[in-house]
């Protein structure tokens, strides 16, 4: 190490000043990034805590609703309203088929009348 010849680089004053300014600016930017990362870590940990609390609350709510459904009596729905709730009776399919045919017949009759009116108007 004693035999080494140190190398010196001479910079102009303006170049040295600009380089020092850029280095300080870079350090300042890195410190801002580090600060932001610490803040992100803090908020991320808070978010995870809140999500876990929400998950626990939803789980408790689900258990509570299950217990409540077991305690409440089942409603008796009249046959007329069962179709609205998606439950079909053995009579409901017989009632809908004639109505559908009736509607199709009415639509065909209206179409025929429209055709007659167009032929008379032409």
pLDDT tens for each residue of 59-78: 999 999 999 999 998 878 77
Percent of residues, the chain, with pLDDT higher than 70: 82
- Contact status, residue 23 vs residue 15, Cβ threshold 8 Å: no
CA distance 82 to 80: 6
So what's the pLDDT on residue 2?
A: 65
pLDDT tens for each residue of 3-42: 788 887 888 888 888 999 999 999 999 999 999 998 898 9
CA distance 56 to 69: 20
* Tokens encoding 15: 């170049």
So what's the pLDDT on residue 32?
A: 92
| C-alpha dihedral (111, 112, 117, 122), degrees to nearest 10 | 100
């Amino acid at each position: 190490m004693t035999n080494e010849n140190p190398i010196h680089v001479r910079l102009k004053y303006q170049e040295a000043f600009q380089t020092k300014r850029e280095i300080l600016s870079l350090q300042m930017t890195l410190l801002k990034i580090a600060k932001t990362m610490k803040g992100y870590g803090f908020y991320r940990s808070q978010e995870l805590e809140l999500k876990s609390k929400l998950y626990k609350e939803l789980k408790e709510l689900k258990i509570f609703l299950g217990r409540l459904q077991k305690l409440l009596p089942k409603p008796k729905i009249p046959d007329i309203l069962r179709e609205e709730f998606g439950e079909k009776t053995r009579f409901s399919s017989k009632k809908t088929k004639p109505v559908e045919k009736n509607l199709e017949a009415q639509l065909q009759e209206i179409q025929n009348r429209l055709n007659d009116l167009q032929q008379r108007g032409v």
